[in-house]
Amino acid sequence: MSQRIALVTGGAQGIGLACAEALAEDGCQIVLADIKPSVHAAAETLGGIGHEVDMGDPDAIDRLFDRVEDAVGPVAVLVNNAGIANPGDFLSYSLAQFRRVLDVNLIGVFHATQRAARTMVAQSIKGAVVNMSSINAQVAIPAIPAYCASKGGIMQLTKAAALALAPHGIRVNAVGPGSIDTEMMAGVNANPEALKMALSRTPLQRIGTAREVGDTVAFLASDKASYITGETIYVDGGRLGLNYVV
């Protein structure tokens, strides 16, 4: 992994930053992309470069890759982590809300993967793409219909891209987190009853850490996973295997 350029989207904080930290420890040169201005400071902590980008804008994605390739070189590891949930009531959920989530979580992932892969193929780079899925690719929450749809789409996009790019030596996998100790879980962690409910659905009886997700991403991006492609690895403490709650 030494000196391979790794681009992590949604990398300013949380799981994205944890992915970047794990990849940096494996020797990757880090580039972070995020819609938040704090991406610059986050990248600096890893000796990398930060770019402010809306990953729901295909033109902005193209400009991002152009800038990265001009400044540091071709991306060999792409982590498609940027995502939004945009919760709301199902009956009043607008098409604009739904489309915005898919623009970032699914269409943006497709476009970034395609753009990265074109350069990898042109330069004979046997790269790796890791998409951020979710247990909500398999289960669902009624208040986040677009998010659930996008993560189900990520599961299938990961398989399709893996098959398409395998002849070029490019691997594509996904990671599906369960309940992870991030900003999104802060409200649950602060509410004993909500935390109790979350743990009741988690056989390992604890909330996962962002770094545990990051380490899984780094593994899939590395040569240790050289014979793995088209898979989604769930980092969920056993949740998806749980048949019932006692």
Kindly list the structural domains of the chain, giving each domain's residue range(s) and its CATH number in brackets, ordered by start.
Answer: 5-179+209-241 (3.40.50.720)
Active site residue 244: no
- The confidence score (pLDDT) of residue 134 equals 97
- The confidence score (pLDDT) of residue 209 equals 96
- Tell me if residue 235 falls in helix, strand or coil: strand
DSSP state of 180: B
The Cα–Cα gap between 53 and 32 comes to: 10
Beta strands in the chain (DSSP E): 5-9, 29-34, 49-52, 77-80, 128-132, 171-177, 232-235
Backbone conformation region of residue 8, classed left if phi is above 0, alpha if psi is from -120 to 50, else beta: beta
- The confidence score (pLDDT) of residue 189 equals 80
- Tell me if residue 5 falls in helix, strand or coil: strand
H/E stretch holding 206: none
Intervals of the chain under pLDDT 50: none
- The confidence score (pLDDT) of residue 246 equals 66
Q: What are phi and psi of 102, to 5 degrees?
A: -65, -35
Beta strands in 120-217 (DSSP E): 128-132, 171-177
The Cα–Cα gap between 106 and 99 comes to: 10
The Cα–Cα gap between 76 and 114 comes to: 13
Take residue 69 and report the two structure tokens written for it.
């390739």
Take residue 115 and report the two structure tokens written for it.
């753009």
Catalytic member of 147, 227, 234, 244: 147
How far from 153 is each of 193, 199, 224, CA to CA, in Å? 32, 27, 26
Residue 235, C-beta contacts closer than 8 angstroms, at least 6 positions apart: 175, 176, 177, 178, 180, 208, 212, 213, 216
Give me the residues paired with residue 77 across strands.
6, 128
- For 102-137, what is each residue's pLDDT tens digit? 999 999 999 999 999 999 999 999 999 999 999 999
β-pairing, 5-9 vs 29-34, is parallel
